[in-house]
């Protein structure tokens, strides 16, 4: 009976721990996907010429960055804020070179796709923040 109890407790502890890790990974992945979705909606073709259009949701990027920082993914949060700054600058003070806008969008998408979660907060069993 004691062996059964030991196995049951160990199963509950390891299962609970893995559930927390998976939940943290899913939260990171969802934030990353939402940031990528926002960047992909930005368009450079529109009635005003070759400038950024459909930028209403860009202001959500700092919120996503803040959420990443709250989950203790410092590198990913800073990168997302850097992307926001570059896109926002191009929205409000567009450059004369249209290829720069395409480059910003392309690099932003690549950077967001490559964002990695910080391993320490992801696997920390004592940090239950989601």
What sign does the dihedral 86-91-94-98 (CA atoms) show? positive
pLDDT value, residue 130: 67
Helix (H, G, I), strand (E, B) or coil at 43: strand
Residues in the chain: 130
Residue 130, domain member (yes or no) = no
Residue 117, domain member (yes or no) = yes
The tokens of 24 are what?
């943290």
Residue 129, domain member (yes or no) = no
Output the DSSP codes for 51-65.
S-B--GGGGGHHHHH
- 68, burial (CB in 10 Å: exposed 0-12, middle 13-18, buried 19+): buried
Residue 92, domain member (yes or no) = yes
Q: What is the pTM of this model?
A: 0.87
Tell me, what DSSP letter sits at residue 49? B
**Domain carrying residue 20:** 2-123
Residue 64, domain member (yes or no) = yes
Residue 77, domain member (yes or no) = yes
pLDDT value, residue 68: 96
Reported as a single tens digit per residue, the pLDDT across 74-129 is: 999 999 999 999 999 999 998 888 889 889 999 999 999 999 999 999 888 787 76
Count of domains forming the chain:
1
Reported as a single tens digit per residue, the pLDDT across 39-69 is: 999 988 777 677 888 889 999 999 999 999 9
Helix (H, G, I), strand (E, B) or coil at 46: strand
Give the Cα separation of 110 and 104 in Å (integer): 10
């Amino acid at each position: 009976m004691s062996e059964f109890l030991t196995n049951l407790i160990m199963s509950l502890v390891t299962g609970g721990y893995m559930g927390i890790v998976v939940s943290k990974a899913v939260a990171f992945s969802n934030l990353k996907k939402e940031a990528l979705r926002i960047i992909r909606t930005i368009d450079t073709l529109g009635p005003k010429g070759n400038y950024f259009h459909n930028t209403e949701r860009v202001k959500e990027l700092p919120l996503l960055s803040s959420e990443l920082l709250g989950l203790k993914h410092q590198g990913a949060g800073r990168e997302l804020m850097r992307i926001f700054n570059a896109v926002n600058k191009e929205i409000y003070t567009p450059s004369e070179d249209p290829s720069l806008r395409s480059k910003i969008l392309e690099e932003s998408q690549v950077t967001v796709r490559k964002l990695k979660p910080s391993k320490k907060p992801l696997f920390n069993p004592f940090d239950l923040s989601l």
